[in-house]
Every structure is written in structure tokens, then in C-alpha cells.
Amino acid sequence: MASTDFGRTVRRWRDRVAPEAAGLPAGGHRRAPGLRREELAMLAGISVDYVTRLEQGRAENPSEQVVEALGRALRVSPAEREHLFHTAGLVPPGRGTVPAYIAPSVHRMLDRLTSTPVAVSDASWTLLLTNPLYTALMGERHGRERNGAWRAFLGSGGRVRHTPESRRALEAAVTADLRMAASRYPADRRLRQLIADLRANSARFAELWDSGAVGHHEASRKTIDHPQVGPLTLDCDVLTVAGTDLRIMIYTAEPGTQDADRLELLAVLGPQPLVADPDPREPGPTEKPSSSPSQSPTALATRRAPGESPTRPAEG
């Protein structure tokens, strides 16, 4: 019964999300006013087949991360998010877990930043949402590579240049962030697992964690080596929304510079097709990702509102 109710709810709420509200083109013939199945699948980062089976009640026991990803894609309110979890037969994550909810007002704000690389992360520096220009700038990230702390200590490397000094500062700041998140969200099992895995596999993280090292993020300029347009030196700021631990990472170029020209060119080139995991804090997706078209301006899944002071992010 839970799977049937969940599927009906997803299907009904899919119809009410206008494509343009999700940053998608509204052209072409549409049998329904809302999102197509493949569009919802793309926004949530799961396969079209799995969305179909969920809506038809043929897929049972959707995971917490899948329900959370679908809720973000459907832009549900807090009460609707709770209802969605209940119809899936799940208890909504409690107050002791890292928040992953992105309010519709934040979605609308991000929808308007189409010419600016933007990424949204949670308190553990896990990417929740990116726009196409951020993906074009930084490349695709899947599984644990979507966590900034994992990338900083155990990742396969990225496009951001680092000096030995900036690398040490980054590692100290990320460790401090995770320590703060662990104290604020003691019931979050994925956060505990992330910290345990980092301690077990990174001697540097274990050293910083055990020593109680502290660090802080500052506004920064980063050079990103892009394989198509060349190096871009951009200002990187993180904004936060009052009352949340979500972070919006924003990259901007100084007007009239070669960096600004290259960023404009990158906006034209766009990202390659991308679908991210429903919950990037896990090693990989629960279901097989779909091979979907390019993302909407806020396709896939951090924040502070206008008026707060920017800080340096954990990692690009």
C-alpha cells in the first residue's frame, strides 16, 4: 500500500511542477502540464525506468535518499516532504541528521543564476544541487566524489589548483567543518560513516581529527584548469541561508577580463550530459542512473541568503 500511495503522490505532484519553474524548456507538445517522467528522473538523478516503476507501484521500499532526491526535484514544502516520506513507509530524517531540504524560494533564487556557476552543499560538504555552468566548470562528480571532504583527502583530484599552503589550509578547514557537523547532527549515520572512513583511509585526516586542529574558510580566488577553455581565475564565495547549514558556492569573474570571456564561452559550450547520485553521501546510486539530457539551471542538488558574509568553500 505504501508503495502505491507513494507512486500516486509522485505522479500527482509531477503534474503540478511547470517545466519553466524547474529551469527546463517548456516547448514541444506535452500531454500533461507538468514535468515529464524523464525530466523528473534527470532532476532527481535516478533512472527513468525506476521513476516509472515507482509511479506504477511496481518498485517497493524506495530508499531515504531516493525520496529526498524526488522531494527536491518536485520542490515540495516541509509538510509535503514529511508526507512523501510517510507514503514511502519511511520516517523523515530527524533533527539529529544533516539537513538536505532545499526550500522552493532557494530553488527560485538559483534558477535566476544561469550565467554563474553555482553549487549547493549540506553541512558535510556533500553536493545536493549544481547548475549546468558549475558542472561545465568542474566536471561531473559521482558517488563519494560528490563530497568535498572526501575529495580533499581521498579524491582522484580535480581542476582547482592548490599550493602546499592552500592544501593544508583546506584540509584543516574541512576537518573543522566535519567536527562541527558531527556535534550538531549526532544521529546522522552517513556523517559518522564518512568520518570513520576518512580516519581509516587518510593518515592526514586522522592526524587533524585526533589533534583537534581548527581552521576556517575565507573568501578566495581560485584558478580552475579547464580542459576546453583553459585556466580561469575566479572569485569563490559561499553564502548561507539563515537557519540552515546549507551552503551556496558561487564563482564569479571580474568583468572585462579574459577569465570573464572564458566563463561566457563555457556557458555556451555547456556541460556534458550528467546525472548524479540521489544521495551522494553514499558510495553510489541506489538505482541505475538514467542517460539524460543536459540539466536544468538547478538540476541535481547549499546555501546562505543575501546579506550574509561570504566564506571560502571546502573545495571546488
Q: What is the pLDDT of residues 152-202, one digit of tens each?
A: 999 877 899 999 998 998 899 999 999 999 998 998 999 999 999 999 999
Q: Kindly calculate the radius of gyration of the chain based on its CA atoms and give it in whole angstroms.
A: 19
Separation CA 300–CA 70 (nearest Å)? 10
Asked if residues 44 and 70 have their Cβ atoms less than 8 Å apart, the reply is yes
The pLDDT value given to residue 77: 86
279 or 254, which is more confident: 254
Q: What is the pLDDT of residue 104?
A: 80
Residues in CB range of 309: below 8 A, 6 or more apart: none
Q: Structure pTM?
A: 0.69
Give yes or no for residue 282 having a pLDDT over 70.
no
Contacts of 305 (CB under 8 A, 6+ apart): 239, 240, 241, 242
Average pLDDT score over the chain: 81
- Position 275 confidence tier, pLDDT thresholds 50, 70, 90: very low
Task: State residue 100's pLDDT score.
Answer: 86
Check residue 47 and give left, alpha or beta (phi > 0: left; psi -120 to 50: alpha).
beta
- Give the pLDDT confidence score for residue 266 in this predicted structure: 94
